[in-house]
Chain A
Amino acid sequence: MTEDDIRRAYIEELVRVAPDIDPATVRGSDHLQDDLELDSMDILNLVIALNSRFGVAISEAEYPRIATPDLAAKFLAEKI
């Protein structure tokens, strides 16, 4: 999977958790909490979704590394 593939999959999971977000408007640098207005339960649900999609465990300390689509794509590419 390329980083672009991962970013696309991440955004798919993101809008499943938060369907008020239009995937077409999400920028790579958008922050989950500050820009996309997810709350902590949303983030927990996103982590669970990413875990089952990519088979990678994301620890609490690593949450900042999935805080934007760009950061997440890079981080997940290393992990997968």
Chain B
Amino acid sequence: MAWEVIHKTAAERAAASLTDEMRAEFGWDKARAMLDGFPDGGLNIAYEAVDRHVLSGHGAEEAILWLGKEGAREHLSYADLAARTARFANVLAAHGLEAGDRLYGLAGRVPDLYIAALGTLKAGLIFSPLFSAFGPEPLRTRLEIGEANALVTTEAIYRRKIAAWRDEIPSLKLVLIIGEEAPEGCVALGPAMAAASEEFEAVHTRPEDPALIHFTSGTTGKPKGAVHVHNAVVMHAAAGRYALELKPGTRYWCTADPGWVTGTSFGIISPLVNRVTMIVDEADFELERWYSILQNEKVEVWYTAPTAIRMLMRAGKEAAAPYDLSQLRFMASVGEPLNPEAVVWGKEAFGRPFHDNWWQTETGGIMIANTQAMDVHPGSMGKPLPGIEAGIVERTDEGLRDCGTGEIGELALRPGWPSMMRTYLHEEARYEKCFVGGWYLSGDLAMRDAEGYFWFVGRADDLIKSSGHLIGPFEVESALIEHPSVAEAAVIGLPDETAGEVVKAYVALNPGFEPSEELERDIRGLARKNLGPAVAPREVVFRKSLPKTRSGKIMRRLLKARELGLPEGDISTLESDET
């Protein structure tokens, strides 16, 4: 069915940070002018996010309001952040870490993780976030690929997931443990911070110096480390203001975990660069807790994800009714396409629609968005932000062909925006493959309508999007094969009304093993231990053999088509079918 367009009032348009006029006049110099930089041409993300606000007299303003799981509250002003990130940078220097070294963050949403991320950047090191619910295998792979020099984590995570193989990562010189005590071979962060000076001048990194490594999954092979530079902060500043309506003093809640790119770009950097007050909740999703936070902390801008919105929807709009959410002025969503029902439900439950937007790990910041001044076409990801040129193209033998209005093709972006990845770490060839005919190819299928709105259609590859997490089937299959009973495995994403997609695995067993409920649980249990619950399959089914091509590649696409009752498409390369 066609959904009614949600029109904005003249007042809403006028109040928008990005008006049509500004769109027309936009240039990257205007975005750069939102920042200070150093007189010598240097640019440092942490300086832009923290130090400059203190130097310009805003040190007393609240930067972070942290809400602990058990009800604790901690207020951090910009001056507090400047001092604590300086201490952290001094701790790194005291341990011989230098600009260009790589520090990984691995913890839940606690203040020290935010301080570590910013302190790392301040010291000129490269920060790489890890998701704390990952199991040991994804963690180890990412530390190996990125040749981690330092890690900040908690004692519990270290003992459970790292200690067993820590010595096998030769590059890893320093493990900092949040808190007052640390296991042998690690350094307790609390005492180290207390002993460090709170004076540290942010390193004058060059705009093209690497700042962040964000790992993302591929359909084949290992995860890829997308490298972003300090100049990405130009995009973070502009996108925060234009797509999320962030202004100095805005009370802003990004529910994304900083273990992923959204939680870093728009859960740490962009909001602080825009001098907002960030609400950080340590706890996971819980219906009443979330509504209470929105109300009690007077959240004005809320950036969340489809899975969470759909969980709120399950409880009905009556659950929102008792809360006073009148201060909420802008709601946005990212992670996977937001279904039109959810966009409209926002209007019914909160009096305003959710504004979906689109971007990827590789793009470093929001590319396509429904902004405050735009009418919302429910189900559409919106239009490209100023400075971003997006197209719909089809790969042909000669290169690329532009697709017409309403035609489905691959969503592509014209390279050159500040937060574009600069490489995949140690994988130049894979990086080069993303660029064809002067476009960056996103791997997402989409179409553009006559009004210029973009609509997501699906992935062009086998990647799975579950609860906003991009999951590479190969990584999951590799973990399944580690079970002694599993001969081969294929993993696909199946549509799910809450999570978008859920991971389902097909396995063929080695001789001597018989399918059983107990074996299914054992295989799934091992996968959960090694990969973590977000990545491991929710269901494992048994097959005698899996459909394969002549070259021995498992045809995941065919399994998925059959599961969904869809046409099987081109099966000319099918050599042996599933049994």
B499 an interface residue at 8 Å Cβ cutoff?
Answer: yes
11 inter-chain pairs at a CB distance below 8 angstroms, sorted by A residue, are: A19-B525, A19-B528, A21-B525, A37-B133, A37-B533, A40-B308, A45-B538, A59-B315, A60-B319, A64-B286, A64-B288
Contact between chains at B319 and A41 (CB < 8 Å): no
Q: How far is the CA of A79 from the CA of B116 in the complex (A)?
A: 46
Among the listed A19, A39, A40, A45, which residue makes an inter-chain contact with B521, where contact means beta carbons less than 8 Å apart? A19
- Whether A63 lies near B287 (C-beta < 8 A) is yes
- A20 and B528 form a contact (CB under 8 A): yes
**Is the pair A60, B525 in contact by a Cβ cutoff of 8 Å?**
no
Asked if residues B498 and A61 are in contact (CB atoms below 8 Å), the reply is: no
A39-B533, A41-B467 given. 19 additional CB < 8 A pairs?
A15-B521, A18-B525, A19-B522, A19-B525, A20-B528, A33-B283, A34-B69, A39-B133, A39-B534, A40-B285, A40-B311, A41-B502, A44-B311, A60-B287, A60-B314, A60-B315, A61-B288, A61-B315, A63-B286
Whole-angstrom distance from the CB of B316 to the nearest CB of chain A? 9
Minimum CB–CB distance from A35 to chain B (whole Å) comes to: 10
A34's nearest neighbour on chain B, judged by CB, is: B69
- Interface residue range, chain A: 20 to 34
A13 interface residue per 8 A CB criterion = no
B-binding residues in A (CB < 8 A): 15-16, 18-21, 33-34, 37-42, 44-45, 59-61, 63-64
Task: Please tell me if the beta carbons of B286 and A20 are within 8 angstroms of each other in the complex.
Answer: no
Alpha-carbon separation in the docked complex, A63 to B524 (Å): 24
Beta-carbon contact of A41 and B499 below 8 Å? yes
Taking the complex as formed, is B575 at the interface, i.e. its CB lies under 8 A from any CB of chain A?
no
Give chain B interface residues in 530-549, CB to chain A under 8 Å: 532-534, 538
CB distance from B542 to the nearest CB of A (A): 15
- Residues in chain A near residue B69, CB distance under 8 A: 34
- Cβ–Cβ contact B522 & A39, under 8 A: no
Complex CA gap A37/B133 in Å reads 8
Give every chain B residue within 8 A of A61 (Cβ-Cβ). 287-288, 315, 319
Most buried by B among A16, A34, A38, A40: A40
For residue B284, CB closer than 8 A to chain A, the reply is yes
Interface assignment of B77: CB less than 8 Å from any CB of chain A: no
Interchain CB contact under 8 A, A41 and B528: no
* Interface flag for B163 (CB, 8 Å): no
Centre residue among A15, A37, A45 by max chain B CB count within 10 A? A37
Contact between B528 and A40, CB atoms less than 8 A apart? no
A15 neighbours in B (Cβ, 8 Å): 521
CB distance from A15 to the nearest CB of B (A): 7
B522, A38: Cβ atoms under 8 Å?
Answer: no
Residue numbers in A under 8 Å from B529 (CB-CB): 20
Decide yes or no: A40 and B315 within 8 Å by CB, A15-B521, A19-B522, A20-B528 being known contacts: no
Complex Cα spacing A26 to B175, Å:
30
B533 lies within 8 A of A60 (CB) = no
Which of A18, A33, A34, A64 is close to B528, meaning CB atoms less than 8 Å apart? A18
In the bound assembly, the distance between CA atoms of A45 and B496 in angstroms comes to 12
Question: In the assembly, what is the distance between CA of A40 and CA of B335, in Å?
Answer: 16
Q: How far is the CA of A34 from the CA of B70 in the complex (A)?
A: 11
With both beta carbons as reference points, the residue of chain A lying nearest to B527 in the complex is identified as A20
Tell me, yes or no, whether B526 is within 8 Å of chain A by CB.
yes
Please tell me which one of the listed residues B283, B498, B521, B526 contacts residue A41 in the complex, with CB atoms under 8 A apart: B498
- Asked whether A33 and B533 contact (CB < 8 A) given A41-B502, A61-B315, the answer is no
Judging by beta carbons under 8 Å apart, are A40 and B284 in contact? yes
The residues of B that contact A40 with a CB separation of less than 8 Å are 284-285, 307-308, 311, 467
Give the complex CA separation of A44 and B64 in angstroms.
Answer: 31
For the complex, what is the distance from the CA of A44 to the CA of B521, rounded to whole Å?
A: 18
Find out whether the CB atom of A16 lies under 8 angstroms from the CB atom of B521. Answer: yes
Report the Cα distance A10→B331, complex, angstroms.
37
